[in-house]
Structure formats: C-alpha cells, structure tokens
Structure 1
C-alpha cells in the first residue's frame, strides 16, 4: 500500500511521516495517532534523504501487518481456549475444580503465547517488513 504524507521528524536513516487518513486506514493498523489526532507512521526507513517538511510517498508492506494481526488475534485466544480445555480436563482427573484448573491453565497458556509473540517481534521489525520512503514528491525549501 502506498500513502503520501509530510515528514514531521527525521533522524539517522528514519523519518516520522504524518499522513492523511484514507479508506485503507480502517483495516491497516500500521499508524499511530499523534498528540493532535493525525495519523503518524513512526520509524519509516529513509534512503532518499527526506527532511522535515518534505512531502513523501511511503510504501507500507501489508503482508507484515496482516501476519502480525493474524498472530495476535488467533494465537492468543487459541492458547487461552486450549489452555482452559486442557486445564479443565486435567483438573477433573486429579480432583481439582475443573473451572479453576481451566482458568489457571488458560491464563498460563495466554501468558506463554504473549511471551512467544514478544520474542518473535524482531522478525516483524525486519527492514523488508517496515514502511519505507519510496520517493520524495516535493522538497521543502
């Protein structure tokens, strides 16, 4: 996906870009909200030497966004449910209240899933999965 925006801050090799909200913003989730409510892409890779005030075109790799979203929305609830089911069965076998054992095991499985996702996050921050300045459209003088 490509978006246009204005560079609001620049540092060594990365820029922050304020973009106008588009239809794709409802499903993407790559942007944060600035203090003023504008959409803000933070840490956009920049090989073109963009400066504050420049209008740029940003390429956002949607595959990475979708993969991360799928992991969060599927892995965590799946682990919670599987942990609850396993705990309830195990609790019933050893004479512990199945609901209590299921709740404890579900929370433990959910925490384990969060831990796995935290360890996997560097994979989603690889350069080929991060937004990148594709072109400087208009330089600020």
Structure 2
C-alpha cells in the first residue's frame, strides 16, 4: 500500500508545474520554473504535406522568487504567448543552431514583457529550452 501511495505521489507531481530551487539558500540563488507541458508545433503545411513536428520544453530562470510566483499565476498567458511564437517560426529556421538561439532570445523578450506588464517586475534572467526535438 505504501509503494502504491509513493507511486501515485510521483505521478501526481509529474503532472504539475513546479518551482525548483538551486544553490542551497544562498542570496541571489538561481531559481527555476519548469513548464511541464511541452509545446508541440506541426509544420505540415510548410513541409510538402509531410509530417514535421517541433517539440519544445521550456524553463524560466530568475533569482527573484516573485517572478516565479508570477509565472505560475500567469501560466495560461505564458503558454499562449510561447505557442504563438513557436507557431510563427519557419521550419528551416528552427532546424539551425542560430535559428534556435534567435527563437530562445525572442521567447525571453516576449516573456519579460509579460512580467513587466502584469507585475511591473522584469527580473527574468533566462529562458531555457530543456527539450528541443525536431522530427
């Protein structure tokens, strides 16, 4: 019974977004907010009707805990903004390392603007693509 409860706990935790702390309590430590749901973009129309997909998993970094709290409370807006950004991309662009880097920079700028608009706080430090699968 205890093993079943532990397994259920692990499964439930895997379906929620969470804030992860790194640095062991030091001032200005790096904090991360991981968006658990990956973004999947279909490039069918751009690929001569061949199935082409891009899947990206995103994490946000800030040393300001208020940014990560704001990320959780504004998650639907963040997800929508990123989904739109990713869908705007050209298939050839996202295949290159330079294109991926530009996409990461644009995601950072758009999310930073959301935090500024919603909270007046733009202390977002970075946007990371934990998974970037091109198929």
What is the TM-score when the length of structure 1 is the normalising length? 0.31
Please tell me whether Structure 1 or Structure 2 has the larger radius of gyration of its CA atoms.
Answer: 1
What is the TM-score when the length of structure 2 is the normalising length? 0.32
